[in-house]
Amino acid sequence: MNRLGKSSAVVLLCSLMLMSGVGTAEAQQKGTTSSAKASSTKVSTDPVPQIVRDVSASVVGIIGKDALGQSNSNSDRYNLVHGTGVIIRADGWIVTNAHVVSGLTNAMVVTSDGKSYTIKKVFKDETSDIALVKITASGLTPAKFTKSILDTEVGEKVIAIGTPVSFSLRNSATVGVVSGMNRGVNAAYRLIQTDTAINPGNSGGPLVNMKGEVLGINTMKFAANGVENMGFSIPSDTVQYVIDQLMKYGEVKRPSLGLALEESWSAIVGLPTDDPLTVTKVLSSEAQAAGIQEDDVLYSINGITVTNIVDINELFKKYVPGQTVKLLMQSDGDIVIRSIQLSRQGLMLDEESEVKI
């Protein structure tokens, strides 16, 4: 699995219209008039071109120097990387991927009308791979995000708009379908899977439905020999959750159980399962106060069954640190309910790949 990442970096057809001398001038004139009428009355039934025109006004290119990956020669003006962003407010707020702006210096935003702006502020959340950037601008065109990702169906047509491979290819559009929903692959939250062509530089760009609504922010793809058209987008509900947190706090204040949890084998390989999670470490004072011990198993949180870490992350979008939740657990062979106050330790990985949450 690769992040879409930041991207580094005529045939002239001449046709000679041969006019036939057959027929009268009057017949030629009638033919021309008839053709003109047909052209003027032709109506496209494909909504894609209009959607691309409408949404492109809200899509920007992001470009700068990669301070983390550049050579010792800081004077190399061509050592640039780029990605894509989506305008969310008319006063210059733009959402993109965290990996697009990580380590980016001298960063600029270029809007669809060719205007350039220096990025003034950056707020990012590595866990979700979402970032906010601020430019000094007004009168921009915000994108419209879907109100409910639950209305999205597998198989419906979608459009990706972004800046693939070269910055000169800004606002390129590709069309595909939603291949799957609620995909838990190499990410903290569930993703939308699509076969729409997305390439390095598309990161941070929108995946748009046929209503012109942003379903998600493109974030990664599978890239390997024999693998084709498997891209992933962060759903709009997760994007909005992170945006709200970054706008309010400048960071995402995630709640935590204060536990290191191990998923079952079935959950790890993606099999349908009701197997619980196993506690491998008790990390917080709140978890210790709740009486939780190593080797306890966790079945549900506030009555919602959880079988993997993504389940917990999705559930915790509704909670904040300091709130109390009830855990249905098994401890020493007994089924028990533990009340625990959520802490703020967040999600980490240790050397043994235990997930701490």
Residue by residue, DSSP assigns 143-201 as PPBPS-GGG--TT-EEEEEE--SSGGGTTEEEEEEEEEEEE-SSSSS-EEEE-S---TT
Q: H/E element holding 95?
A: strand 93-96
| Structure tokens given for 7 | 């991207």
What DSSP character marks residue 322? T
CB 101 within 8 A of CB 62: yes
Distance CA 7, CA 18 (A): 46
> Is 4 in a helix, a strand, or coil?
coil
Q: Write down the catalytic residue from 203, 233, 236, 256.
A: 203
Q: Burial of 327 by CB count in 10 Å (0-12 exposed, 13-18 middle, 19+ buried)?
A: buried
325 CB contacts (<8 Å, ≥6 apart)? 301, 302, 319, 339, 340, 342
Q: Write down the catalytic residue from 7, 56, 58, 99.
A: 99
CB 328 within 8 A of CB 296: no
C-alpha Rg value of the chain to the nearest Å: 26
> Is 35 in a helix, a strand, or coil?
helix
- 295 classed as catalytic: no
CA distances from 82 to 57, 70, 144, 347 (A): 18, 13, 24, 28
3-state percent breakdown (helix, strand, coil) of the chain, nearest 5: 20, 35, 45
Q: Write down the catalytic residue from 7, 58, 128, 129.
A: 129
- 99 classed as catalytic: yes
Distance CA 193, CA 171 (A): 21
Q: Which residues are catalytic?
A: 99, 129, 203
